[in-house]
Structure 1
Amino acid sequence: MQKSQKIAQCFSPAAFIHDTEENYQAIETLIREQEIGGLTFFHSRHSAAANFEKRAEVLDVSGTFEKMIGLINRYQAISKIPLLISIDGEYGLAMRIEKTPQYPFAITLGALKKDAEKWVEEVGYRMGLDMKQSGIHLNLAPCADVNTNPNNPVIGYRSFGDNAEKVAKLSFAAYLGMKKAGIGACLKHFPGHGDTETDSHLGLPILHKSKTQLQAEELLPFQYGIDRGVEMIMVGHLAVPALTGGKEIPASISRELITDLLKGEMGFNGLVISDALNMKAVAKHFPEPGILEWEAFHAGNDILCFSDHVKEGIEKISQNASEEEVDAVFEKIMDLKKRLGVMDFKPIQVPSFDWESHSQLQIELAENYVSVISGEINPSELKALAKVGKLGYREYFTSQKSLFASQLAISDYNWGNSEKGIIAVFVPSHKPLNQFGMDPETLADIKKLAKSKPCILVHFGNPLALKHLGKMEDFEAVICAFQGFEEVQRVVENRLHSE
């Protein structure tokens, strides 16, 4: 193989499921002419990167899953060397694809009270099986970021928590589960994106901590994984001056961070994958196409994710990298492809999911993480009040009455006549922007109700949003349910009736 063909195996540009035929053909051209090594699938151009969660609000699309399977078969059919297919599915295929199994967020799994590592590994395994049967070889997850900054705009719900040791154990458990399912996984975003306040999709976060502090917190989960044989790590677009001689350079293009620290000092000998190279934290600094790709390769990245300049990137790397460097990376990628069964590609059929088993898993998980975090619940009192129409109910941020409302079987929703109230909040967004999508007027109404009579708050959503709902002591009790899944609603209803 020629040098340029080996370099091309490093590239995994974005493939959009909902796109134009012209764009599908452009991907085919990359496969035929540049002989790229892989593709990273996203829902659509509108939903990629920072905007993915808006897709439900702005896009009217159908058949996403079937389209992806069709595209995988189409693209694989024309590739000389089978493509490594990856997806960024931290909570399952559902992060990118409608009507596929969704699993709890990492922050939710971080709240598991019993056998957390065992359950997180099981979630990783189930997630991995979903992907494996869908033609995907690599999940760009889990996050090993320690979310110590509650104002973090980009990690938050994606982290297993703010305790470094817990994050280390649970992120590794998730990794193991996916590996057990036969797909690849990676710890991200090295050297740790948890204590930042800038979204790296939009700008460059800078982490001002000493190396000692970083080793005790940010770096700890990565070292934990490295010591236990983790085979892939994704490097984030954040600057850590203490590790780069005072320079505010993105980790993803820092040779000091990747080659010297990660591979040298920390002993990582697996594959390094870059975070998306189209992200503004790095992309805006390299107007000349191909230079960013060379910088990322030179820093020590083996797989270049979401490059917008594949042809120019291959050319620049070919001009600047030695044969030995290129061969070393090429061999690592081909070895990964063999391990993950990429080389044995056969056209895939659209698989079906075991929804009953998935629902049962959701119930078992919810029973483990749903928590009364303030006050106490008296189920017999609630039943007695409901019988005589004295238990009020209010629900917020739902377009129609939830399953939870009907499960509670409260005969009278008249808040004015009730002696006690239940306030159910279905948090609209899992990201902190605009108070997690909760409007100020409604929040004011919730706080007012809490002071009008004894109330139980049931919080279906990101626990980081609780701070916007007033003081916890203003409620008689607070139940944190973490997710709005129907199975979770049933578990909460059981708690209210039998706690």
Structure 2
Amino acid sequence: MNKSQKIAQSFSPAAFIHDTEENHQAIEHLILEQEIGGLTFFHSRHSAAANFEKRAEALETDGTFEKIIGLINRYQVLSKIPLLISIDGEYGLAMRIENTPQYPFAITLGAIQTDAESLVEEVGFRMGVDMKRSGIHLNLAPCADVNTNPDNPVIGYRSFGNQVDQVAKLAFAAYSGLKKAGIGACLKHFPGHGDTAVDSHLGLPILNKTKAELEAEELLPFQYGIDRGVEMIMVGHLAVPALTGGKEIPASISRELITDLLKGKMGFQGLVISDALNMKAVANLFPEPGELEWKAFHAGNDILCFSDQVKAGIQKIAERATEEEVDLVFQKIMGLKTRLGVIEAKKVESPTFDWESHSKLQAELAENYVSVISGTINPKEIHSLAQAGKLGYREFFSSGKSHFAERLELPFVSIEQSEKVILAVFVPSHKPLNQFGMDLETLAEIQRLAQSKTCILVHFGNPLALKHLGNLENFEAVICGYQGFEEAQKVATSFLV
């Protein structure tokens, strides 16, 4: 292989499942003419990166799973060296593909109270099995970011929490489960994206912390993983001036951070993958085609994710990188492909999912994370009030998939006639934009009810959204269900009846 062919193995541009035939053919040209090493699949151009939720609300598509299987087979048959197929599936295939198993968000798993590491590893294993059987080799997960900024616009629910040790252990457990399933995984977003206030899809976050603070918090989960043999780390698009001599340079293109700190001081010997190179935090910095790809490669990235300038990027790297640098990266990528079974890639047959087993796991998880986080609940009193015609019920923001009231099997009266009210809140969005999708008028109504009636709040959603529901002390008790899964709804009812 010549130098350019070896460099091409570093490129994993985006492939969109729902796209035009013209764009599918453009991917074929990249495979045939540039001989790229892999593809990173997204649902659609509309849904890529930051816009997943808007896609879920606005885009109607059918047959996503069947289409990705077809595209994987279509593209693999064209490639001289089988492609490394990646997906960003932090909570399973369902993050990008409808009608596939969805697992709890990291923030939900972070609330598991018993045997958390073992259960999180099992979740990683199950989602890894789903992916491996679907022709996917690498999951760009889990997050090892410590979410210490509750207003973080881009991490939040994607983090295992705000406690450093917990994040370190659970991120490694998720990684280990994926690896057990034969899937590649990576800790992200080095050096730590949890305390940022800017979405790196849209701009450059700058983390102004001291070196000592960064080592004690942001860097610790990555060091924990490195010490235990983690094989891949994704570097994020955020600036940490304390680690780059005061320069506000994105970590993803900083040789000081990747080569000197991560690979040098911290001892990481695995592969480094860049966060998506189309993201505004870096994409707008280098208007000349291929320059960004060269900067990322030179900084120490082995795999370049979501490059929009593949041909120019290969050319720039070939002009400037030494043969030794290229050979080293090429050998690392080929080693990864061998370990993950990519080289023996075969035609993928559409698998079926064991939904019964999936539901059993969901139920076991829910038993361990759904909890009363404030106040106390007396089920006997609730029953007594219900029989006396003094128990009310009100549901907010339900998407129509709620079976919560049915599960309670209690007689309810109007709010006006009740002495006590059960308020079920199904938070529309897991991201903080616009009060997590909750309108201000309805939030005000919930707060008025909590102040005028004795209320029990049952919250199905990101716990970071609780702050918008007013002072929790105004509720007699608060049950946090974390997500609206039927299994979580069932467990939540057990606290009431």
Using structure 2 for the length normalisation, give the TM-score: 0.99
Q: Deviations over 1:439-493 (max 9, x none)?
A: 0000000001111211000000000000000001100000011011011101111
Residue 351 (structure 1) aligns with: 351
The separation in 2 between residues aligned to 1:488 and 1:131, in whole angstroms, is 24
Q: Deviations over 1:133-191 (max 9, x none)?
A: 00000000000000001110000000001111110000000000000000000000000
Give unmatched runs, 5+ long, in structure 1. Answer: none
The separation in 2 between residues aligned to 1:493 and 1:56, in whole angstroms, is 28
Residue 130 (structure 1) aligns with: 130
Q: What is the CA distance between 1:399 and its match in structure 2?
A: 4.2
Q: Trace 1:97-496 onto structure 2 (pairs within 5 A).
A: 97-400=97-400, 402-496=402-496
Q: Deviations over 1:418-447 (max 9, x none)?
A: 111000000000000000000000000000
Amino acid at match of 2:162: D
Number of residue pairs aligned between Structure 1 and Structure 2 = 497
Partner SS, residue 233 of structure 2: strand
Runs of 4+ in 1 over 3 A off after TM superposition: none
User: Does structure 1 conserve the Cα–Cα contact (< 8 Å) formed by 2:436 and 2:465?
Assistant: yes
User: Does structure 2 conserve the Cα–Cα contact (< 8 Å) formed by 1:395 and 1:401?
Assistant: no
Residue 8 (structure 1) aligns with: 8
Q: Deviations over 1:359-382 (max 9, x none)?
A: 011111011011111100111111
Partner SS, residue 118 of structure 2: helix
Q: Trace 1:12-51 onto structure 2 (pairs within 5 A).
A: 12-51=12-51
Partner SS, residue 86 of structure 2: strand
Partner SS, residue 342 of structure 1: coil
User: Does structure 1 conserve the Cα–Cα contact (< 8 Å) formed by 2:461 and 2:481?
Assistant: yes
Q: What is the CA distance between 1:91 and its match in structure 2?
A: 0.5
User: Does structure 2 conserve the Cα–Cα contact (< 8 Å) formed by 1:93 and 1:130?
Assistant: yes
Partner SS, residue 209 of structure 1: coil
Partner SS, residue 86 of structure 1: strand
**CA RMSD of the aligned region, Å?**
0.7
Amino acid at match of 2:259: T
User: Does structure 1 conserve the Cα–Cα contact (< 8 Å) formed by 2:402 and 2:484?
Assistant: no
Q: Structure 1 residue 94 and structure 2 residue 94: aligned?
A: yes
The separation in 2 between residues aligned to 1:159 and 1:409, in whole angstroms, is 35
The separation in 2 between residues aligned to 1:276 and 1:299, in whole angstroms, is 15
Tell me which moved more, 316-325 or 407-416.
407-416
Tell me which moved more, 365-374 or 395-404.
395-404
Amino acid at match of 2:356: E
Q: What is the CA distance between 1:387 and its match in structure 2?
A: 2.3
Q: What is the CA distance between 1:289 and its match in structure 2?
A: 0.7
The separation in 2 between residues aligned to 1:53 and 1:440, in whole angstroms, is 20
Partner SS, residue 189 of structure 2: strand
The separation in 1 between residues aligned to 2:388 and 2:84, in whole angstroms, is 62
Residue 59 (structure 1) aligns with: 59
Q: What is the CA distance between 1:411 and its match in structure 2?
A: 2.1
Q: Trace 1:59-78 onto structure 2 (pairs within 5 A).
A: 59-78=59-78
Q: What is the CA distance between 1:385 and its match in structure 2?
A: 1.7
Using structure 1 for the length normalisation, give the TM-score: 0.99
Amino acid at match of 1:251: A
The separation in 1 between residues aligned to 2:9 and 2:339, in whole angstroms, is 16
The separation in 2 between residues aligned to 1:56 and 1:152, in whole angstroms, is 21
The separation in 1 between residues aligned to 2:196 and 2:171, in whole angstroms, is 19
The separation in 2 between residues aligned to 1:241 and 1:170, in whole angstroms, is 28
Q: Deviations over 1:5-53 (max 9, x none)?
A: 0000000000000000000000000000000000000000000000012
The separation in 2 between residues aligned to 1:206 and 1:248, in whole angstroms, is 7
User: Does structure 1 conserve the Cα–Cα contact (< 8 Å) formed by 2:128 and 2:182?
Assistant: yes
The separation in 1 between residues aligned to 2:273 and 2:427, in whole angstroms, is 33
Q: Deviations over 1:249-283 (max 9, x none)?
A: 00000000000000000000000000000000000
Q: What is the CA distance between 1:388 and its match in structure 2?
A: 2.9
The separation in 2 between residues aligned to 1:413 and 1:441, in whole angstroms, is 23
Q: Deviations over 1:75-112 (max 9, x none)?
A: 00110000000000000001101000000000111111
The separation in 2 between residues aligned to 1:401 and 1:3, in whole angstroms, is 54
The 1:60–1:413 alpha-carbon spacing in structure 2 relative to 1, beyond 3 Å, is farther
The separation in 2 between residues aligned to 1:193 and 1:423, in whole angstroms, is 34
Partner SS, residue 343 of structure 1: coil
The separation in 2 between residues aligned to 1:53 and 1:271, in whole angstroms, is 30
Q: Deviations over 1:97-133 (max 9, x none)?
A: 1000000000111111011100100000001000000
Q: What is the CA distance between 1:413 and its match in structure 2?
A: 3.9
Identity between Structure 1 and Structure 2 (%): 79
The separation in 2 between residues aligned to 1:10 and 1:416, in whole angstroms, is 65
Q: What is the CA distance between 1:401 and its match in structure 2?
A: 7.1
Q: What is the CA distance between 1:410 and its match in structure 2?
A: 2.7
Amino acid at match of 1:114: T
Amino acid at match of 1:207: L
Amino acid at match of 2:297: F
User: Does structure 1 conserve the Cα–Cα contact (< 8 Å) formed by 2:94 and 2:101?
Assistant: yes
Q: What is the CA distance between 1:383 and its match in structure 2?
A: 1.5
Q: What is the CA distance between 1:230 and its match in structure 2?
A: 0.2
User: Does structure 2 conserve the Cα–Cα contact (< 8 Å) formed by 1:389 and 1:410?
Assistant: no
The separation in 2 between residues aligned to 1:126 and 1:496, in whole angstroms, is 31
Partner SS, residue 248 of structure 1: coil
Amino acid at match of 1:176: S
Tell me which moved more, 11-20 or 401-410.
401-410
The separation in 1 between residues aligned to 2:232 and 2:391, in whole angstroms, is 53
User: Does structure 1 conserve the Cα–Cα contact (< 8 Å) formed by 2:272 and 2:301?
Assistant: yes
The separation in 2 between residues aligned to 1:387 and 1:260, in whole angstroms, is 69
The 1:22–1:425 alpha-carbon spacing in structure 2 relative to 1, beyond 3 Å, is same
